[in-house]
Amino acid sequence: MTSDTKNQEDVMSTVTPTRAPHQDVPTGHKPDAGRVGGGLFDPEQLLKSFPDAVRKLDPRVMVKSPVMFVVLIGSVVTTVLALKDPTDWFGWAITAWLWLTTIFANLAEAVAEGRGKAQADTLRKAKTDTVARRLTKDGKGEESVPGTDLRIGDLVVCEAGDIIPGDGDVVEGVASVDESAITGESAPVIRESGGDRCAVTGGTKVLSDRIVIKITTKPGETFIDRMINLVEGAARQKTPNEIALNILLASLTIVFLLAVVTLQPFAIYAGAEQSMIVLTALLVCLIPTTIGALLSAIGIAGMDRLVQRNVLAMSGRAVEAAGDVSTLLLDKTGTITLGNRQAAEFVPVKGTSAGEVADAAQLSSLADETPEGRSIVVLAKEKYGLRERHQGELAHAEWIAFTAQTRMSGVDVDGRKVRKGATGSVVAWVNERGGDVADDAQALTDSISQAGGTPLLVAVEDDKGARVLGVIHLKDVVKEGMRERFDELRRMGIKTVMITGDNPLTAKAIAEEAGVDDFLAEATPEDKMALIKREQAGGKLVAMTGDGTNDAPALAQADVGVAMNTGTSAAKEAGNMVDLDSNPTKLIEIVEIGKQLLITRGALTTFSIANDVAKYFAIIPAMFAVVYPGLDKLNIMGLASPESAILSAVIFNALIIIALVPLALKGVQYKPTSADKMLRRNLGLYGLGGLIAPFIGIKIIDLLISLIPGIG
């Protein structure tokens, strides 16, 4: 929207400068080190996580992962059997590696959770027990109360240097606020009553001026409390896909358990009875232990990657849904375009000069503190040599403020009335005064709109009567690289829709320049809701961003609703993600992270199931080759002995888990491509790799074991 079609953006030119709410975060921006966590194999992180991994051996915890619960039971069984025969080196070796398999699985999850706890520790530092200055019920006095005593609806006063005692909305005043404890961004931000930048977070600090805040959350349920619970994993719930995969893994485990149980009678009949230790080793190698061990870590790491980008996901379901999004709704201003329109030229109507238009436009914009208004003053000065006048020089002038009803602003001074604003409003103003509207005025505004610009009509009433002088051409600049980003999304199969309050002509021009698939012009909250429901009715998942109270219904309806941290409490409550940087283009990154999560889970599942095949070739011949010599042909790896073959498979089964932890935490590299190409790539890389790697790994381990005296 232009300076004459929106509320003033920055009303505090005297406070500390801040990053604009829609400004892109620099490429190198990262939260503070405590929030990012150490490396994938940081020794300090591993040492901190190891006790947690041991504590997770509690059967009540292990039962949540059916696959690893079976491994735990197998470890206990082999331990009991090994104790009966302390001289059985094979039994002790199998037992030791089964316990390591269980601990490695727990360590993967503990490392992922440990990185979240490091982030939570930083957030806890922002939680301070503050004393709040609560307004009395009559609103005339103040009382000091602990921040924990505040309740929803209480009004508190904060001045420069005060810590905001709780989450709420600014209902009076405007101030500069330091939110670095939450966002990791050192630049302060403006919070003001009314509009979409009124929400404040408990634990942040007021740097200037005085504000009155209405508390909107209960103690213990503040934004920081929720963040701590989420990044620690305490509030993480398994997603539908994760639950479905768990059911599949549990089913496979039951099938293989039945197969191993029924194998012993056949083995006895064939005269090749197997020990319980061998059968346990077989079971552990057959069930999909790799993905069972890493599944939880993959989900935690997905949310962790979002937190590292200063996005708080209210649920794992939202992250997963982001990976399946097929329609992306993007606000034009600040997301696709730079956000602040700039005056590009003054276009006169017939019979008027550009200098006259520039003079009138500058005069009418002196009281307009929006970026657009200031750009008009600067353009008139630089291009037409007009001296920049100040409001102080026009003390006798009557300034006409912009309102949503008039859709105009201007000034009455020295017997002249100057107005600028929306075409229809200015034309109506001129007609009311019996003035003259030039024949080419409408054509000029239409041509500017069709070119993607925004026209503001300039008119004047003086001793010559009321008349239109010309048009101000405001240009909205599309951000660099947006067309390429939308091309990537298109390759991912995602439809992009630009949402704007502009007229259809302007919206169409910007949409074509940016390269979006569709646009919604003159959008109202009802229009957004209708569009989302229409897309969802077609079986599509929809993502959108928003920051205002009027965006709340659409954010709640969308499958992925990303609310801006600068936005209202209503918007943040309605969405299932909050972008702490308030950068609307972050939505594209969120979709990529969601897809990376799904791809990582699928890739490791493929690898896990594929590498079981090699274990069959290692264990089955070792178990029955004595009775059925023909099975020795399946010993294609040429393993040294039955014992070393079985032990090598068990060792490989344990080591592959720890080897894949970095991939589970970092995620499989995502490249925008079609689903078919992605499937072929995963099958080729992780399916084929899952088949080949165990053959190589088991053979190397067997060679090492065979070198040990008395074993090989």
Summarize the annotated binding site for Mg(2+) as residue ranges: 547, 551
Give the whole-angstrom CA distance, residue 457 versus residue 495.
Answer: 36
Cβ-contact 34, 122 below 8 angstroms: yes
- Angle separating helix axes 276-286 and 66-84, nearest 10 degrees: 160
- Annotated active-site residue in 10, 331, 359, 476: 331
The four Cα atoms 684, 686, 689, 694 give a dihedral, to 10 degrees, of -150
Which tokens belong to 158?
């904060």
Q: Is 331 a catalytic residue?
A: yes
SS3 state at 42:
coil
Give the whole-angstrom CA distance, residue 438 versus residue 423.
Answer: 12
Query: Of 544, 502, 538, which Cα lies nearest the Cα of 520?
Result: 502
The four Cα atoms 65, 68, 72, 73 give a dihedral, to 10 degrees, of 80
* Residues with Cβ within 8 Å of residue 133, at least 6 apart in sequence: 142, 143, 144, 156, 157, 158, 162
Cβ-contact 596, 670 below 8 angstroms: yes
DSSP structure string for 529-556: HHHHHHHHHTT--EEEEE-SGGGHHHHH
Query: Of 25, 19, 23, 21, which Cα lies nearest the Cα of 7?
Result: 21
Q: What is the arrangement of strands in the sheet containing 416-421, beginning at the earlier edge strand?
A: 342-348, 465-475, 453-462, 416-421, 408-413, 398-400
Give the whole-angstrom CA distance, residue 49 versus residue 647.
Answer: 27
DSSP structure string for 230-287: HHHTTT----HHHHHHHHHHHHHHHHHHHHHHHHHHHHHHTT----HHHHHHHHHHHS
Query: Of 410, 447, 454, 444, which Cα lies nearest the Cα of 430?
Result: 410
Q: Tell me which residue has tokens 């801006």.
A: 564
Cβ-contact 549, 536 below 8 angstroms: no
Cβ-contact 167, 7 below 8 angstroms: no
| Catalytic residue annotation | 331
